[in-house]
Amino acid sequence: MRRPTSAASSSSLQGSNLQVFCKLASASAGVMSAPLSSPFSSAAKSDRLIIAFLIATLAASMFFWIFPELDLVVSRWFFSPNEGFISSSNTKLQGLRRSSRWALAGVIVVILLRMIWDTINGALTWSRVRKPIWLLAGLALGPGLLVNGLLKAHWGRPRPINVDVFGGDAVHQTVWVISDWCDRNCSFVSGEASSSAWLVAAALVTPKPVRLAATTVTLVYAGSLSLNRIAFGGHFLSDVVLAWLICGLIFAVLYRLIPDKAHPFCSGGTHP
């Protein structure tokens, strides 16, 4: 239960929140309005990608807000009145889900080993470490902090399997609605879908000779993991779609903020 606050403290808190919001808005505006040297520059492409993800996230949120029944329609495809979400008992699909943890851990280990190897050999330049830093920061801020630390922990959206339409006792909640129908590890948004999006981001920065093949395979794999969560009754369609878009926005913003100019980061030589 929340404690009552005085009018003075409430006014002070609102003023403080307003100042924080204004600073964040100013910082965001500064990033988005950064001058571009060329419409074909890396910064310009990043800006367009940020805008695209932002518009897509807002459009998808509005769509699922206006048509909330779409989530229920899609979940019904995988639901049987007599057996529930029957795909959740499929051993092959269970194995697919478990594999995501190993895939995620494997990519992280490869990233760290490469950085350690470059450090040992004195080859750790900014141009080589920028993408690993981007990936690790994206994983920490996107799937880690924003999705699992904030949205899933505090938005309170019940999972399909817990909704009354599918045999549970909770009431279906629309996207972005904060409710008390779930206490922790809730449905909005999908943590595993956000991790799947990160795997695709990792594939996009693999060496050029294997990039197309790696991205194609990872997209199929990540899409299967995301669809699996809907089939299991663990998430709604909107949870998965918005997880991908929100994390894509985070990754794009980070890619824009992390400078891409190559400069010495570590060398074996001595300095005067």
- Output the six-digit token pair for 113: 């080993």
pLDDT of residue 203: 98
Whole-number Å distance between alpha carbons of 231 and 225 = 10
Contact partners, residue 206, CB within 8 Å, separation at least 6: 214, 215
Contact partners, residue 272, CB within 8 Å, separation at least 6: none
> Comparing C-alpha atoms, which of 150, 152, 168, 144 is closest to residue 233?
168
* Partners of residue 219 on adjacent β-strands: none
Contact partners, residue 178, CB within 8 Å, separation at least 6: 154, 155, 156
- Output the six-digit token pair for 13: 């808190």
Count of beta carbons in the 10 Å neighbourhood of residue 157 = 27
Residue 206 vs residues 36, 131, 200, 215, 235: alpha-carbon distances, Å: 26, 10, 10, 9, 30
pTM attached to this predicted model:
0.81
Contact partners, residue 42, CB within 8 Å, separation at least 6: 260
Q: What is the mean pLDDT of each run of 10 residues along the chain (272 residues)?
A: 38 41 43 42 83 98 98 98 95 97 98 95 91 97 97 97 96 96 96 98 96 98 98 98 98 93 48 40
pLDDT (tens digit per residue) in 197-218:
999 999 999 999 999 999 999 9
pLDDT of residue 2: 36
Element (H, E) at 109: helix 91-120
pLDDT (tens digit per residue) in 35-87:
433 444 567 888 999 999 999 999 999 999 999 999 999 999 999 999 999 99
Residue 195 vs residues 108, 198, 259, 271: alpha-carbon distances, Å: 12, 5, 24, 41
Residue 182 vs residues 48, 178, 192, 244: alpha-carbon distances, Å: 37, 10, 18, 22
